[in-house]
Every structure is written in structure tokens, then in C-alpha cells.
Structure 1
């Protein structure tokens, strides 16, 4: 996998480079500003960009806004936000196109390298990886819509785990359910949220977006 990293802290940036390189990935650029991120992605067309929210010169939301600019381009690149902060005003915008290939992890809650590397692989492959705290804050921000109110407690629980980016098998393990039960819950979720199959969109991501905006 070819990766671009945008992180202003030297030790963390170099640590990510070492981790990814040691696990067989190729870091094609490691930069510390939002403009340099945009230039690196345009030059290298990586499989994934790992981006901090707050980058120089303002240390506010430059990285996240650059990530949104990348997501608005074609071909749409995969982006994994890794930050100390939850920028709620922008976080759901990462999912707004309904395509996946996005993630948002909190630095101080990354406690297992295997979990982080799994999130890297999942986002690069077009899936999602949302920290549970990010999901909690986004859901708390919004009122529940009628489509979500039609879900059973178990279906909402399954959808919440989907929002974190868990696969069907991981949901089975988390809820101690059989695969057929999880598949049935997900089918019911799609039906109740009126998410019909579409060639240009990922129903799983659209369900997550509905949940976060609900």
C-alpha cells in the first residue's frame, strides 16, 4: 500500500513512517502542512492519506479541510484522520458522499497497533473506521429521525458498530451473535432506512451516515 502522511509532530510522523514501513507499506511522502499534503497526493496518488486535523500555520482545522478538498476530487482518495480532537462540524462531511474510504481515529485512544493497522487497511480498501468516541459525539449532536426510530434496540446496536467500521464477523464477536443473525439485522436496517442498492454508493456507508446525522 502507498501512503501519504500529514502530521506536524516530528516524532509522531517518523513513528508512523517506521510503523507502516516495517509492516510492508510504502510511505511515499511524509509532510507537515496542508498545502504539502495536497501537493503530495496530487503527485503520488497514494492508496491512503493519514492526516492530522490541526496543521500549520493556524493549527486549527487545516488538515481536515484539506482532507475534505481531497474527497471532493476525482478519483476520490481514501483518507484516515488521526487527531486529538473531534471536529464535529466537519467529521460527518467526510462521509457525506456516501462512498466510504474514510476514517476518524483519536490519537490518545489508539492502544493497539494491530487495531490501528486494521483501520488503515479497512479505509484504504474503501471501508470506514470511526472511533467510538467520535461516533458518540456525532450522534449526541443530532436528534433522532423517524427512520432510525423504526429500528429495534438490537438493530441500533448493530448500526452503531457498523459506524465504527466493524465487519460482520467483528459484530458477531462483539454481540455474541451468529453470522446469519447479524446479516438479518443489517438487511432490516437497510430496509427500514430505505437504502436501496445503488451502483454509485455504498449502502453500508449510507446507513452509517444516516446514523451519524440522526
Structure 2
């Protein structure tokens, strides 16, 4: 740990001076306790794109998660505060974010998928199993982890992911990461 900050301005100064691997911030910070921490996180992402950001929140806010992952979901985490009680999992999540991975709270993902399914026809074309696979993809899980969680084979996961790409009309590309695009396309609408 390289420092603590009492408010968003101090957090930004620390990041500029110390260039940490990952920043852990609450969405709500002094002085107003509204979204100062989120705004600081977005500013850090813009000025220090290699610094991982882990944002903690007391409540599920779909808009906050979408803002964090909208331009680049790499090196971003958004967890509800109750998740950090499991210290070993939280530390593993921090390492994943510092290494450029994405960590989204399962409750946030569930809210985003429910909203996307309700608001957009593309969600209704996905089968319940494809929605489960997409939710676990949104949490940043690998095919092996998805297979284990759903008690299916990795080959089945690959097939579901392929169908998700087809439903979302995401053709193969050497320039884009379809897995990330699928999650962003479906969840950020």
C-alpha cells in the first residue's frame, strides 16, 4: 500500500505522485459523498490508463458500472462492499484488476443483464444458458471457470459463446476482442 486519501483530490494527487498498480476507491467520497470517487476513478483511467481501478459501492448502480467499463473494461473492478469481507477473494480480485482483468460484482451483472433483457430484443434472443454464460463472462470468468460454475464442459461453453457472438452479430476480427465486445454490447445498452 502506497497511501490513503481523505478525498478525491488527495486521491488524484497520490496517483499522480506514486503511480500505484491499482487504486481502491469508494464511489462516495468527501466532501459531498455523492460520486466523487467514481469521478476520480474515471479521471485516473483517462490520465493513467495502466493503473487498475477497483471501485467499491454500498448499492448496485448500473450506471456506475457502465461508465467504468464503457471505453475500456481492462483493469477495472466494481464490487459491492459486502464482497470484500472475503479477504482472499478480494485480494485475488485486486490482482486480477492490477493485471488488466475485469471484476464485476455478480449482483451488478445480474442487474445489468435483467435491464438489458428487458430493454432490448437482443437479450430476449439469448437462451437462459447463454444468458448465464454471458453473465459469467461479464464477471471476467474464463471458459474453464464458466464450465466449472455451470457444471458443463468447456466445449459447451465455447459453443454458447459462439452463439452469443452470432446473436449479437459480432464477426471474428483481428482488431477487436469479441468477448469484451459481447459483454459491453449487451450490458451497456
Structure 1 residue 30, shift from structure 2 partner: 1.8
Count residues in correspondence: 187
1:191 aligns with 2:170: no
CA contact (8 A) 1:53 1:85 kept: no
What does residue 43 of structure 1 align with? 17
| Among 99, 109, 114, the residue aligned to 2:83 | 109
In structure 1, runs of 5+ residues without a counterpart are: 1-26
1:54 aligns with 2:16: no
CA contact (8 A) 1:48 1:78 kept: yes
1:105 partner SS: strand
How far does the alpha carbon of each residue in 1:106-138 deviate from its partner, in whole angstroms, 9 at most, with x for none? 112334222112211211122211111112233
TM-aligned CA distance change 1:117 to 1:193, over 3 Å? same
Structure 1 residue 153, shift from structure 2 partner: 2.0
| Among 41, 47, 52, the residue aligned to 1:78 | 52
TM-aligned CA distance change 1:105 to 1:157, over 3 Å? same
Give the number of the structure whose residues are more often helix, by fraction.
2
What does residue 209 of structure 1 align with? 184
Q: TM-score, normalised by structure 1?
A: 0.78
Structure 1 residue 191, shift from structure 2 partner: 3.0
What does residue 133 of structure 2 align with? 158
Q: TM-score, normalised by structure 2?
A: 0.87
1:41 partner SS: helix
In structure 2, runs of 5+ residues without a counterpart are: none
CA contact (8 A) 2:83 2:90 kept: no
> How far apart in 2 are the matches of 1:186 and 1:208?
11
TM-aligned CA distance change 1:114 to 1:193, over 3 Å? same
What's the C-alpha RMSD, in Å, of the aligned pairs?
Answer: 2.1
